[in-house]
Amino acid sequence: MTQRYRVFFKEIQKNFGERIFKITVNAGLTCPNVDGTKAKGGCTFCQESSYTGLTFQPGDSIQKQISSGMEYVKKRHKTAAFFVYFQNGTNTYAPLDRLKTIYETPFLFEDIKGMMIATRPDCLEKEVVDYLGELNQRTWLWVELGLQSHRNDILKKINRAHTVEDFVKASHELAEKKIKTSAHVILGLPGEEPSDSRSKACFLNTLPISAVKIHNLVVFKNTVLEKQFRQGLYDPLTLDDFTDQCIAFLEHLRPDILIQRINAHGPRDQTIAPDWSVNKWAALNSIHLEMEKRDSWQGKKLNIFFKSKAKLQEIKTNLLKDESIGLLG
Ligand code: SF4
């Protein structure tokens, strides 16, 4: 079944002419939302162990994590090229010298084609953005910026301790350095309405971002969200509701924005709710089938941007033909 949205890794594969695998690395950095600098306790949903890489062993150096990850993939695939993904914590939250030591490590490996750095929009000092600009000249760099919600009242509710304005500022500063930015959003946050999925996409359309990572909200063990869930203060989305919201989001999203993922799942033994989220394919299959059934596609409802029906039709045809739109040249 053709995916009716612009799949990130397919576009990357076209660009490099080979399949690219992602190696998740834990650089050992903390977060200003955890260490008390911005807030305490972290985001209400955050549980770091729910997103540790497959081959990660506590104490492993960055170099060791990269070589173990590459070895693991190479055993299963004849040839392989890689992106290193710095995921855990806030990966620009350290003195510049330490960041430089971390981000020079992938250059020791020939098969590493690019880097993805996940961070918060309020942790990008000018000297860090300048350094990322330099890195961007030497490798394929993506900065993944956490937004989660386009509403400050919701950000407050989930204890993000940054604002929507921080995100706008950071995305523009990165764009000035020609760094590709990916926005991380969650659908169905406590306090959000179903219509927020639509307005979240419309908000992102106004920003210089190149990709989006969409997550459903998962209640992990030992989080504030778990307490809220047990007290009846948070009701997770059903699979049908998440499917509806995700499709509404995609239909209102600019068709040039690449989709890095459309759902989240964690280890079964760490997941409290919703049950369907532990099955990676449940959400993917539901969204793909429903998009097909509704003849839905990324950008379908964007008549504000593309008033001409012919232009919208052209976008749809290209998506379904799976044609590259040369975004990554
Ligand atoms: S900003 Fe990221 S690492 Fe920090 S508490 Fe929130 S989710 Fe966790």
- In tens, the pLDDT along 27-61 reads 999 999 999 999 988 999 998 665 555 666 778 99
Could you tell me if residue 123 is inside a domain? yes
Kindly tell me if the per-residue pLDDT of 326 is higher than 60.
no
Residue 50 CA to ligand 1 center (angstroms) comes to: 12
Determine phi and psi for 86, rounding to 5 degrees. Answer: -90, 100
Do residues 140 and 65 lie in contact, with contact meaning Cβ atoms separated by under 8 Å? Answer: no
- Quick one: pLDDT at residue 147? 98
Residue nearest to atom 8 of ligand 1 (CA): 46
pLDDT bucket at 103, cuts 50 / 70 / 90: very high
User: Containing domain of residue 157, as a range?
Assistant: 8-320
Of all residues in the chain, the percent with pLDDT exceeding 90 is: 79
The rounded distance, in Å, linking the Cα atoms of 81 and 73 is: 9
105, pLDDT greater than 50 = yes
Domain membership flag for residue 58: yes
Closest to 260 measured CA to CA, from 118, 124, 139, 133: 118
- The whole-number pLDDT of residue 218 equals 96
- What pTM did the predictor assign? 0.93
Residue 211 has pLDDT above 50, yes or no: yes
> DSSP string of 230-242?
HTTS--PPPHHHH
Across 145-149, 206-210, 261-265, 271-275, least confident range: 261-265
- Per-residue pLDDT at 323: 58
Query: 216 CA to middle of ligand 1, Å?
Result: 16
Give me the helices (H) in 158-194, please: 164-176
Residue 2 domain flag: no
Position 305 pLDDT exceeds 90: no
Distance 161 CA to ligand 1 centre (A): 10
In the chain the first and final C-alpha atoms are separated, in Å, by 27
Residues with CB under 6 A from ligand 1: 31, 33-34, 42-43, 46, 89-90, 120, 146
Q: What is the pLDDT of residues 307-319, one digit of tens each?
A: 667 777 777 787 7
Q: Report which ligand 1 atom has the smallest distance to the Cα of 120.
A: 1
Contact 290, 5 (CB under 8 A): no
Which atom of ligand 1 approaches the CA of 45 most closely?
7
The count of structural domains within the chain is: 1
155-174 tens-digit pLDDT: 999 999 999 999 999 999 99
- Cα 168 from Cα 171, distance rounded (Å): 5
* 88 CA distance to ligand 1 middle (Å): 8
Q: Which of 31, 37, 147 to mutate to test the pocket of ligand 1 (most atoms within 8 A of CB)?
A: 31
Average pLDDT over residues 145-149: 98
Ligand 1 atom having least distance to the Cα of 89: 3
φ, ψ for residue 157, nearest 5 deg: -60, -35
Q: With a cut of 50, say whether residue 328 has pLDDT above it.
A: no
The CA 308 to ligand 1 mean position distance, Å, reads: 41
Residue 312: its pLDDT value, please?
73
pLDDT at 241 > cutoff 60 = yes
In a domain, 255, yes or no: yes
Q: Is the pLDDT of residue 267 over 80?
A: yes
**CATH number (domain holding residue 133):** 3.20.20.70
Structure confidence by residue, pLDDT tens digits, 189-207: 999 999 999 999 999 999 9
CA of 182 to the centre of ligand 1 (A): 16
Please tell me the predicted confidence (pLDDT) of residue 52. Answer: 59
Task: Output the residue whose Cα is nearest ligand 1's atom 3.
Answer: 89
Tell me the average pLDDT of the chain.
92
Percent helix, strand, coil in the chain, to 5, is 40, 15, 40
Answer whether residue 328 is part of any domain: no
Residue 329 confidence (pLDDT): 37
| Structural domain includes residue 181 | yes
Mean pLDDT value across residues 272-296 = 95
pLDDT in tens, 1-28: 778 999 998 889 888 899 999 999 999 9
Using the atom order of ligand 1, give the atom closest to the CA of residue 159: 6
- Which residue's C-alpha comes closest to atom 7 of ligand 1? 46
Residue 325 domain-assigned? no
1 part of a folded domain: no
* Least reliable range by pLDDT among 113-117, 143-147, 251-255, 322-326: 322-326
